[in-house]
């Protein structure tokens, strides 16, 4: 089912079209705007997604849709980009040890390496569950299961993600206590975090949010900066001894565990 989103509105005398934020229709179905589905799938930015949709490159249930704000049911609707389905019938769950220096998108206009250069079967379409920025390494899950990905990335489920952080200076106990209590950032206070010291300037932190560059910004709020940042676990699934740049399939037990981790609040 497709539900049209809100349109654009005229912004004052400058005659600039400013898109309003569409609100989902009532009900409990897992709906997302079409542009966001493409962006979260790692194909490109939301701006690029809007251009592709407007250009007729995206279809839903076999019909071309040109409205980027159209609401789609991520469990029921069949979405295709350039004729290629975003989700295949057989669900796949892949764990990648992302090295620093790779970006978490399908292609990069600047020619930088992407995580898709590391995936064995490039013909199989998988999208990343959340993102790790260019300079962050560690555990990244790729899948074609949109419901599974939504559960792990939606902050309402409070799914724990564990990071190993090395800062540029020694951190006092008061610094780590501030992280535990929550840090005031420009987009609001962070939730309390679990923090364990592992060295004079190194610590593990477990957070249940996924804001842009959140851990780096929390450290910067302490008048420090991050030297290295590695995600070592999502829920109880850890990166272990998987070499950088390598992948492995999640076990059925790991998929079951991650599918049930967290609780919506």
Judge residue 202's burial from the number of C-beta atoms within 10 Å of its C-beta, 0-12 exposed, 13-18 middle, 19 or more buried.
middle
CB 118 within 8 A of CB 96: yes
From 67, 108, 117, 133, the catalytic residue = 133
Cα separation, 195 vs 248, whole angstroms: 28
Q: Give Cα separations from 177 to 128, 156, 198, 227 (angstroms).
A: 32, 24, 14, 20
CA distance 137 to 163: 10
- Cβ 140 vs Cβ 128: under 8 Å: yes
- Active site (annotated) includes residue 133: yes
Catalytic residues: 133
């Amino acid at each position: 089912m497709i539900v049209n989103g809100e349109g654009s509105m005229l912004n004052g005398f400058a005659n600039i079209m400013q898109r309003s934020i569409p609100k989902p229709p009532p009900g409990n179905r897992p709906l997302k705007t079409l542009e966001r589905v493409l962006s979260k799938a790692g194909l490109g930015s939301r701006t690029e997604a809007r251009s592709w949709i407007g250009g007729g490159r995206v279809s839903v249930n076999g019909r071309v849709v040109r409205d980027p704000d159209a609401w789609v049911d991520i469990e029921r609707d069949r979405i295709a980009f350039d004729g290629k389905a975003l989700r295949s019938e057989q669900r796949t769950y892949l764990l990648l040890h992302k090295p620093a220096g790779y970006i978490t998108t399908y292609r990069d206009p600047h020619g930088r390496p992407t995580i898709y250069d590391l995936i064995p079967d490039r013909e199989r379409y998988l999208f990343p569950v959340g993102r790790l920025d260019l300079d962050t390494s560690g555990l990244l899950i790729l899948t074609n299961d949109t419901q599974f990905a939504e559960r792990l990335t939606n902050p309402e489920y409070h799914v724990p993600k564990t990071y190993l952080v090395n800062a540029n200076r020694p951190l006092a106990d008061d610094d780590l206590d501030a992280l535990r209590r929550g840090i005031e950032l420009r987009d609001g206070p962070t939730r309390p975090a679990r923090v364990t010291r592992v060295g004079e300037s190194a610590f593990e932190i477990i957070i249940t949010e996924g804001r842009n560059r959140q851990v780096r910004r929390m450290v910067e709020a302490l008048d420090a900066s991050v030297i290295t940042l590695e995600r070592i676990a999502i829920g109880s699934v850890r990166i272990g001894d998987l070499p950088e740049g390598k992948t492995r399939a999640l076990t059925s037990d790991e998929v079951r565990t991650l599918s049930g981790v967290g609780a919506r609040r």
